[in-house]
Amino acid sequence: MQFDPPLEEGRLLQRYKRFLADIETLDGEQLTIHCPNTGSMLNCMSPGGRIWFSRSSDPKRKLPGTWELAETPHGRLACINTSRANALVEAALRAGVITELAGFSSLRREVRFGQENSRVDFVLECADGPAFVEVKSVTLGFADSAVAAFPDARSERASKHLRELGRLARDGVRALQLYCVNLSGIDAVRPAAEIDPQYARALSDARAAGVEVLAYGCELSPTAIELLRPLPVVA
């Protein structure tokens, strides 16, 4: 996925009210832009750190741009725009990069399913039946480790999705949790039990029920992002 138009670089001043960020461009222009991330963004940002944003040309928009990438305190590059994950995964699915799901005949997005009023990111029609795929964007890294973690804040919604996938798997329907690792310098993924022990238990239960758990890492730069390589998911 190429960024078009190209991203602009700036410096982070502050993130606040979850969805807002004050930045300063390289030309000294100070802007308030949209921060498309509901998580804590733990270890993804620091005041004065480098960021990259897309500028909007729509005069009707309240905010002039959207925060896309951040240089983390550990020197990694993170895509903090969580809405990018599904597009990256869909592109990789259609290109056959995610080999575990190659050969599907059709793809549906945001499909209602389950007993808890949920939506799953993708339903793929495969030769042996449908495959339900839930995508999570991973950006939490640590200074002394190449293992990323999810989630970066407590998430009942993420646990709910795993429960729903587990029910499908127990009924004989193919169900997958797919982590899109939007962080450079990562070799594996794990559940962040120290942040959300309920999610870690839900992941273990889902695996025991037959849910497939996959992770794929992205190559990131200020010009493009691409989902390219499988990564192990460790307990």
- For the chain, domains (ranges, CATH) are 8-79 (2.40.50.580), 84-231 (3.40.1350.60)
Residues present in the chain in total? 235
Phi, psi of 34 (to 5 degrees): -80, 135
pLDDT at 7 over 90: yes
> Quick one: average pLDDT of 74-103?
97
Q: What is the pLDDT of residues 128-155, one digit of tens each?
A: 999 999 999 999 999 999 999 999 999 9
> Quick one: average pLDDT of 211-225?
97
> Hey, what amino acid is at 137?
S
Tell me which residue has tokens 């691409």: 226
Peptide bond into 5 cis (omega under 30): yes
In the chain, pLDDT over 90 holds for what percent of residues? 96
